[in-house]
Structure 1
Amino acid sequence: MKNQLMIATLASGLALAGCTTDPATGQQRINKTAIGALAGAAGGAAISKATGGDHTGRDAAIGAALGGAVGLYMDRQEKQLQQQMAGTNVEVKRDQQGNIDLVMPGNITFATNSTAINPSFFNTLNKLAATMVEYNKNTVIVMGFTDNVGNASYNQDLSQRRAESVKSYLVSRGVDSNRIMTYGFGETRPIANNDTEAGRAKNRRVEIKINAPQSVN
């Protein structure tokens, strides 16, 4: 009972500390660092309980500290990427698990039916690579996508080769190849209507997911 009360108090304190007010809407929200701390607290408590530990409250506090450190690590990385990608048409956002997603439209990354990266996009990828080298605790997934024009098998192969091209370039700029996985999804995961040119342009894209690490120690 004492441990449960300690965990509840810890979670409540973290939630209150992490609340911020959106200046545009006036609504309160919990920042990503606080979310990481809450997840860490829950994980630490669960592991302690599952293994028969007698220090569930202590382990929850340790988990909260580790989770908060990961959240802060990702917050700083997201802020840096948003600054670097400003004006490039690359979208930077966080998912519900605290990972960072970058969406790169095909019109700025590759020419039609080509796996050669547009030279005008090198500078953007250089900045991304520098951040990935600085924040080296993350694993990264590079994903290629196409519209539905042409043969589905060809589109699948094209999307995979484009993902591999982006990986190769990042590795050439100093990113450890073991951190990067690549996947091609072809035309199977559209984010817009393929019946319009504007929609097809959105579907021709590369996405990069920067995964939150378990720990930053």
Structure 2
Amino acid sequence: MSNVRNFALIVAASTFLAACTNNPYTGESEAGKAGIYGGIGAVTGAVIGAATSSKKDRGKGALIGAAVGGAAGGGYGYYVDKQEAQLRQKLVGTGVQVQRNGDQLTLIMPGNITFASNSSDISSSFYPTLNSLVTVFKEFDKNGIDITGHTDSTGSLALNQNLSNARAQSVASYLAANGVASNRISAFGAGPNQPIASNATEAGRAQNRRVEITLRQL
């Protein structure tokens, strides 16, 4: 009974500590999804802390583990919450999709709003969207920016590979030229090798012609 009671106290303390943790990136109190992440991290940290401490220090170890686990679990999740909200607000009506998978954000930019056919020159109508991205990326500067160019399967593999490389590099160069730290940015061309729709139809090929930006924790 004593062990059960002690563990219940540890879990309660872990949850409390997670709720009280300030975000290490912004200094704000954590809430929303980050509270869930922090709570999970805190409980996990408490269990590990208790298991790796001597019997007499088990309670102390659990509390230390809870504090560390809560901060680690909640910090970046909260940061991504804020960044996602900013991106969705600024990209309304642009045609850019914002997708989230865990703590990874992906921006999908279809070819019809980014580049002219068979060109790596940024379309003039796309500059306002890129400027919005620059603003958000400079404010939220704690993640890497992976830019990938994609094409459909029309034409030779070499042509498509070169075109996808050039388009990814064009976006990367624009971000860097406007103040986004270049050491955060990578650019890669996938050519036609990562389709998201069938290349047998025009609609499918249009979906495959795209640039994606993936934001990941550094």
Q: Does the 8 Å CA contact 1:77/1:131 hold for their aligned counterparts?
A: yes
Out of 94, 99, 102, which is 1:88 matched to?
94
Q: How far apart are residue 36 of structure 1 and its match? A: 3.3
Q: How far apart are residue 138 of structure 1 and its match? A: 1.0
Superposition map of 1:17-96 within 5 A: 32-38=33-39, 40-41=41-42, 44=45, 55-96=61-102
Q: Does the 8 Å CA contact 1:142/1:207 hold for their aligned counterparts?
A: yes
Q: Does the 8 Å CA contact 1:163/1:206 hold for their aligned counterparts?
A: yes
Q: How far apart are residue 32 of structure 1 and its match? A: 3.4
Structure 1 partner of 2:181: 176
1:160 maps onto 2:161 in alignment: no
Q: How far apart are residue 47 of structure 1 and its match? A: 7.4
Structure 1 residues 181 and 38: CA distance shift in structure 2, 3 A: farther
C-alpha separation in 1, matches of 2:52 and 2:193: 42
Which runs of 5 or more structure 1 residues have no equivalent in the other structure? 17-30
1:114 maps onto 2:119 in alignment: yes
Q: What whole-Å deviation, never above 9, does each CA across 1:124-161 have from its counterpart, x for those lacking one?
A: 00010111001111111111111111111221221111
Structure with max Cα Rg: 2
Structure 1 partner of 2:195: 190
In the superposition, the TM-score normalised over structure 1's length comes to 0.79
Structure 2 partner of 1:24: none
Q: Does the 8 Å CA contact 1:109/1:118 hold for their aligned counterparts?
A: yes
Match for 1:161: what amino acid?
A
Which runs of 5 or more structure 2 residues have no equivalent in the other structure? 20-31
Q: How far apart are residue 186 of structure 1 and its match? A: 0.8
Q: Superposition RMSD on alpha carbons, in Å? A: 3.0
Match for 1:175: what amino acid?
V
In the superposition, the TM-score normalised over structure 2's length comes to 0.78
